[in-house]
Amino acid sequence: MAEINALLNGFAVALTPFNLLLMLIGIVLGVLIGVLPGLGGANGVAILLPLTFSMPPTSAIIMLSCIYWGALFGGAITSILFNIPGEPWSVATTFDGYPLAQKGRAGAALTAAFTSSFVGAFVAVVLITFLSPVIASFALEFGPAEFFSVYLLTFCAFVGTSSENAMKTIASMMLGFALAAVGLDTVTGQLRLTFGFTSMLQGFDFLIAVIGLFGIGEILLTLEEGLEFKGVHAKLDTRVVLETWKELPRYWATSLRSAAVGCFMGIVPGGATPASFMSYGVARRMSRDREKFGTGMVEGVVAPETAAHAAGTAALLPMLTLGVPGSPTAAVLLGGLLIWGLQPGPLLFVEQPDFVWGLIASMYLGNIAGLIVVLTTVPLFAAILRIPFAIIAPVIMVICAIGAYTVHSSMLDVYLMVVFGIVGYLFRKLGYPLAPLVLALVLGDRAEASFRQSMLLSEGNLSIFFSNYLVGSLTGLALLLLFWPLISTTKRLLKR
């Protein structure tokens, strides 16, 4: 088994004292980010990205991906103890997690959430280990038309799977593409959309957009709830953990189903949130005590947490193999790869095996470390949430400003961040999804390049996107997803 060998090599790369230390730092920072309002996986990783500029790429990605795992774990703490979902995919965790905490079983809910997160991530990492080399070697044969159809599929999937208004998804996505087009056109050397401002030459950096949209926007949203957080106190001792672990094997079927849903939805962009809702719904429908869901069932915590973590992890699979991130956080990690001089995509597996397998090995280690850290330090992190918002809010603003400044050492970016923050607040309140905007901003240039290359190959004939089975089925699936909202509405109207 070539994969096992490669993975063992990866462990050798990841298991240095320096990398282990970074892993631990990453997890702790990640949980902190996941717990604090206004900081989440995407903008947290974006803010901390400049810290890694001077590190070797493998160590850097290990630390950043551990921040991501930590943030995924941390989201559960706020959902269960404070009924505040730290991340959109933790919303489903509040349904049963918070009632459990109110009943005095916060410890059990947290243990169940962390353990399920771990299980979900573990299944997804195994999937990445064995599936990504296959996809990568398959994608080596891809031409520009295939790549464009993959991009098309990514973007159409947002329209097809989003629970929000499809037209708002498109508007938000197109705004991202327009922002991506600003600056120098690499093919013709012409300036686009700069309107004579030299400061616009560089275009918009998506990291700034991520920090503003998610960070500042989130703080403004949280402010509406007032300045005080009210939460349940949690004790997490060994006895509670062991008792909950004894209870958990009972839900093996739910775990397995949720992990499968999560892995599948994670590869599709923007999948973690729908995955968590979907698996909660499925678990409720399949359960014998259906009506008890929502009143504090451990199973109701297991299902969404497993799925969300599986999806969050699986989102890295298309990022590594195709260079197409499945979530905003995966997009930020991809941005990191580009900054360290690595070109994500199928060639990465051939040219940088140490990097790829070191990262995959660190996913196993990072999640184990994460489970241990969160199980032992919950009271500490819960205490952080009790710090009044009048202190937390300005501190987070300061951290966001640092993050925005350090990307290019430019003050203009800090001003832009504030503008993006206001846009983020408006968009969130009006139901414009932010993930398509960020992904369009990240992938815009490359999507356009692959489109233009395909057009050059075919001399302007769009039929190139149906020229063989592979590209044809990808494009076909993309179009189906694009028109899915229209199809399902028509079906509903016809039924009436």
Partner 1 sequence: METGDDRSAAKRGTLEGITAVAMLLLGVLVIVDSVRVGIRWVDDGPQAGYFPFYVGVLLCLSSVWNFAMTFVDTASSQKSFVSVASIKLIFAMLLPTVVYVALIGWMGFYVSSILFIGLFMVWLGKYSWTKSILVSGTVIVCIFLMFEIWFRVPLPKGPLEALLGLA
For partner 1, the binding residues (CB under 8 A) are: 50-51, 53-54, 165, 167-168, 170-171, 174-175, 177-178, 181, 185, 187-188, 190-193, 195, 216, 219-220, 223-224, 226-227, 388, 390-391, 393-395, 397-399, 401-402, 405-406, 409, 411, 414-415, 418, 422, 425-427, 429-430, 432, 448, 451-452, 455-456, 460
Q: How crowded is residue 246: how many other Cβ atoms within 10 Å of its Cβ?
A: 9
The one-letter amino acid at 312 = G
Spatial distance between the Cα atoms of 363 and 52, rounded to a whole number of angstroms: 18
* H or E element in which residue 81 lies: helix 57-82
User: For residue 183, which phi and psi values (nearest 5 degrees)?
Assistant: 115, -155
Closest CA to 10 of 364, 361, 365, 349: 361
Q: Which is nearer to partner 1, 95 or 177 (CB)?
A: 177
Least separation in angstroms between residue 304's CB and partner 1 is 28
Least separation in angstroms between residue 281's CB and partner 1 is 25
Least separation in angstroms between residue 64's CB and partner 1 is 13
Least separation in angstroms between residue 325's CB and partner 1 is 20
- With vertex at residue 327, the alpha carbon angle to CA 323 and CA 330, rounded to the nearest 5 degrees, is 55
Closest CA to 82 of 246, 228, 269: 228
Q: Which is nearer to partner 1, 15 or 223 (CB)?
A: 223
Least separation in angstroms between residue 489's CB and partner 1 is 14
Least separation in angstroms between residue 101's CB and partner 1 is 27
Q: Which is nearer to partner 1, 20 or 174 (CB)?
A: 174
Spatial distance between the Cα atoms of 466 and 18, rounded to a whole number of angstroms: 49
Burial of 189-214, coded b for 16+ CB within 10 Å and e otherwise, reads eebeebeeeeebeebbbbbbbbbbbb
Q: Which is nearer to partner 1, 305 or 448 (CB)?
A: 448
CB 23 within 8 A of CB 66: yes
Least separation in angstroms between residue 85's CB and partner 1 is 19
Q: Which is nearer to partner 1, 391 or 493 (CB)?
A: 391
For 393, the token pair is: 């809010």
Q: Which is nearer to partner 1, 165 or 295 (CB)?
A: 165
Spatial distance between the Cα atoms of 14 and 412, rounded to a whole number of angstroms: 37
Q: Which is nearer to partner 1, 222 or 321 (CB)?
A: 222
* H or E element in which residue 191 lies: strand 191-192
